[in-house]
Structure formats: C-alpha cells, structure tokens
C-alpha cells in the first residue's frame, strides 16, 4: 500500500510517523517561504519599478523594529527545526534496553542476518510485529548502509567496529531493505526484504527453522576450539586473563586507571586488538585475533560473552550499548 503523498514510502514503524511529521513541517515551512519571498519579489518589482528616466528613489534610513522582527522570527523557526529534529534523532538512535537482538553482517553484496536463537537468513529478515528489534551490525569488507524506508531508519555499517539501530514494526507486511552506501559494482542489487509477521506466526517461523545452533553456543564452541579458555576461562580459570563472567556491560578498570564500559565494541576490540585496552592487573600478553575470525564469528564470540551474564548494576542512563552510527543524508 502506497502513501497518499507521491514518493513517500509506506509508514510501518513506531518512529515513521514522527519522522514524517518533522519532514512535512520542514517541507511546509520551505514551501511557505518560497511562495512568500517570490510573491514579495514580484510585487516589489512591479510596485517600485522605475517610472521615468530621471527618477531618484526616496532615501531609506532603516527600521530597528523591522530588523529585530526579521531576525527573531527566523531564529525561532530554526530553533524549532533543531529542537524537534534532536528529539526525533534521539528517539530513533538511542538503543532501547529490551528487545530482540539480531546480528547483521554486510558484505559485497549481500546482507546476512542471524537471530539470537541461531536462525540465519540472507537478504531477508523475519521479525514480529510490535516488538523492538535491535540490529547489531558489522561488515566483512567496505562501508555499507542498512536502510529500511518503511521504518524510516538508516545507519552506516562501518569496517572495524559495530554500529546499531533499532525499530518496532507496527504492521505485518513485506518491506524493502536497501544498501544506501555505494559499495562497488553490485551495490544497487544489495537489497532484500523485511518480513513483518504476527507474533504467533513469527514463533512458528522460528520453530520451523530451529535446527540451527544459537549464536552464543556457536561462539562458545569457537572460544573453546581457539583455546581462549586456557588463558581466561569464564571464571578466570587459566589465570592469565580476566574472567568473562558478568563482564558484559560492566564498568571495567584498565591498567591506565581509566574506567570503560564493556559493551559490544569493547568485546570486539579486545579480540581484534587486545593491546588497546588492558584490564588492570593483567599483562599485555594476548595475541591479536584480527584476520583469524570473520565478522560473523566475532559476533558469535560477542554473543557468547553476553550470554555469560550482564552486569546491569549500571542503569544510570539510557546510553546505547553500541554507539549508533550517525548517518549523514546522502
Ligand atoms: Cu553495500 Cu552498497
């Protein structure tokens, strides 16, 4: 079903109405002033045209009242853009605490999704209606950008780190997803569909695809097969590295005295570049696993660390676990 306004995609998420309202306001203000200014220009051109060859215009001394007025009104209008835009931005890019987590790996030229229960999909993403869905995104190669117009969400997927975005679909249906960052030859073909289903139907779909290993258990297997546990087991068995139990989302003290939050990006960096942040009391002995594990495996390892328990004592702010990618409009 198309919107009644031409070129506007269907509106199917909790945020899309707010994005549209702001967008229509911006368009409305723009149209209003375009018409007003063009009208006034035409009126003045006709009204104050030179009527005789030697006519000299009346001198103008200026008007403080008029100048104050046309400074304050545009100021207030610009501030309304800023305040309203900021509110919508934060509503859209601040990650909710609860919700389903889905990992996304972009590569030239496909989107790979994995549900926390293990189901994998390519270029298709099944989600239930009325639930918050968090996308934790990584890329195997270059920058991509996941864009779902009907949900009005869009964020870059950047090499070397995780980015995130979320949505809550409001009606069942099939919605286009796109790559919105030029990423090479088949960029234009790097798209697919989000399939929004009724909760019961979604449960059926999950159950029908349940023969896959969950992300965290795949991560655990990898963790064992790569010998990670010989240095730091979940409860610090091995003794050469910090314990992993309860680490996720906790405040971690580093050997330089700095406190950092052990979020997804911290876990990822600790695997690919262990020297970057060393936990207080431990030596810089861990080798880098950069290039030895794929982005998909990194996400599985991260979800294993998550499954070892999160430390939710720090609920001070609605800070996102992952820094959302600010996406400049392209
Ligand atoms: Cu991926 Cu464009």
Beta bridge partners of 121: 113
Torsion angle of alpha carbons 304, 305, 306, 309, nearest 10°? 110
CB atoms within 10 A of CB 251: 11
Helices (H) and strands (E) in the chain, counts: 6, 12
Q: Which atom of ligand 1 is nearest to the CA of 187?
A: 2
127: nearest Cα among 205, 192, 190:
205
Bridge partners (DSSP) of residue 126 are 195
Q: What is the mean pLDDT of residues 250-259?
A: 83
Q: Do 191 and 147 meet the contact criterion of CB atoms below 8 Å apart?
A: no
Confidence of residue 251 (pLDDT cuts 50, 70, 90): confident
Q: What is the pLDDT of residue 291?
A: 75
Å from CA of 145 to ligand 1 middle: 6
Inform me whether the pLDDT recorded for 315 exceeds 80.
no
Ligand 1 atom closest to residue 181's alpha carbon, by position in its atom list: 2
Long-range contacts of 72-79 (CB under 8 A, 24+ apart): 77/29
Relative to beta strand 124-128, strand 120-122 is unpaired
Q: Are residues 106 and 146 in contact, defined by beta-carbon separation less than 8 angstroms?
A: yes
Index of the ligand 1 atom closest to the CA of residue 180: 2
Q: What's the rounded mean pLDDT across residues 70-92? A: 94
State the Cα angle at 17 between 167 and 80, rounded to 5°.
110
Q: Note the pLDDT of residue 62.
A: 85
Mean pLDDT of 119-138: 91
Cβ(206)–Cβ(50) below 8 Å: no
Tell me the mean pLDDT in the region 40-52.
Answer: 91
46 has pLDDT over 80: yes
| Ligand 1 centroid – CA 325 distance (Å) | 16
pLDDT at 59 over 60: yes
Strand, coil or helix: what is 237? coil
* Residues 200-209, mean pLDDT to the nearest whole number: 85
Quote the ligand 1 centre to 107 CA distance (angstroms).
Answer: 8
Reading the block at residue 44, the tokens are: 């003045």
Beta bridge partners of 112: 105, 122
Instruction: Please confirm whether the linkage preceding 200 is cis (ω < 30° from 0).
Output: no
3-class secondary structure, 253: strand
Which amino acids bring their CB within 6 angstroms of ligand 1? 106, 109, 144, 179, 181-183, 187, 190
What confidence tier does 151 reach under pLDDT thresholds 50, 70, 90?
Answer: very high
> What order do you get walking across the sheet with 191-197 strand by strand?
124-128, 191-197, 173-179, 144-148, 153-157
**Cβ-count burial of 44 within 10 angstroms (0-12 exposed, 13-18 middle, 19+ buried)?**
exposed
Say how many Å lie between the CA of residue 132 and the centre of ligand 1: 25
Expressed in angstroms and rounded, the spacing between residue 179 Cα and the centre of ligand 1 is 4
- Residue 184 CA, closest ligand 1 atom number: 2
Closest CA to 95 of 219, 216, 328, 263: 263
Residue nearest to atom 1 of ligand 1 (CA): 144
Give the pLDDT of residue 318. 39
Q: For the residues 205-223, what does the mean pLDDT come to?
A: 78
Find out whether the peptide bond into 168 is cis, omega within 30 degrees of 0: no
User: Atom of ligand 1 at shortest distance to CA of 183?
Assistant: 2
Answer yes or no: are the C-beta atoms of 190 and 109 closer than 8 Å. yes
Are 205 and 126 a contacting pair, CB within 8 Å?
A: yes
Instruction: Give the bridge partners for 166, in sequence order.
Output: 134
């Amino acid at each position: 079903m198309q919107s009644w306004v031409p070129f506007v995609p269907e509106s199917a998420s909790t945020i899309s109405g707010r994005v549209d309202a702001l967008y229509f306001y911006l368009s409305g203000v723009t149209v209003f002033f375009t018409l007003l200014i063009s009208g006034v220009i035409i009126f003045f051109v006709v009204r104050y045209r030179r009527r005789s060859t030697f006519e000299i215009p009346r001198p103008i001394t200026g008007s403080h009242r008029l100048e104050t007025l046309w400074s304050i009104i545009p100021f207030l209008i610009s501030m309304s853009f800023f305040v309203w835009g900021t509110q919508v931005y934060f509503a859209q890019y601040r990650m909710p605490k609860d919700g389903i987590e889905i990992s996304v790996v972009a590569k030239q030229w496909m989107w790979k999704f994995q549900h926390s229960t293990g189901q994998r999909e390519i270029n298709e993403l099944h989600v239930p209606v009325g639930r918050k869905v968090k996308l934790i995104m990584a890329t195997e190669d270059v920058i991509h950008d996941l864009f779902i117009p009907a949900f009005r969400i869009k964020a870059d997927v950047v090499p070397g780190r995780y980015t995130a975005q979320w949505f809550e679909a409001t009606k069942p249906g099939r919605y286009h997803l796109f790559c919105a960052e030029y990423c090479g030859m088949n960029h234009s073909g790097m798209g697919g569909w989000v399939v929004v289903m009724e909760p019961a139907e979604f449960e059926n779909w999950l159950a029908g695809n349940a023969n896959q290993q969950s992300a965290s258990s795949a991560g655990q297997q990898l963790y064992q097969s790569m010998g990670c546990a010989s240095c730091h087991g979940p409860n610090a068995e091995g003794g050469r590295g910090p314990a992993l139990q309860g680490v996720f989302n906790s405040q971690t003290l580093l050997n330089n005295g700095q406190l950092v939050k052990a979020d997804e990006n911290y876990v990822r960096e600790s695997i690919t570049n262990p020297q970057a942040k060393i936990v207080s009391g431990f030596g810089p002995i861990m080798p880098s696993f950069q290039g030895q594990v794929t982005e998909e495996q990194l996400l599985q390892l991260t979800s294993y660390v998550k499954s070892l328990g999160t430390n939710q004592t720090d609920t001070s702010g609605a800070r996102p676990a992952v820094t959302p990618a600010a996406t400049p409009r392209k």
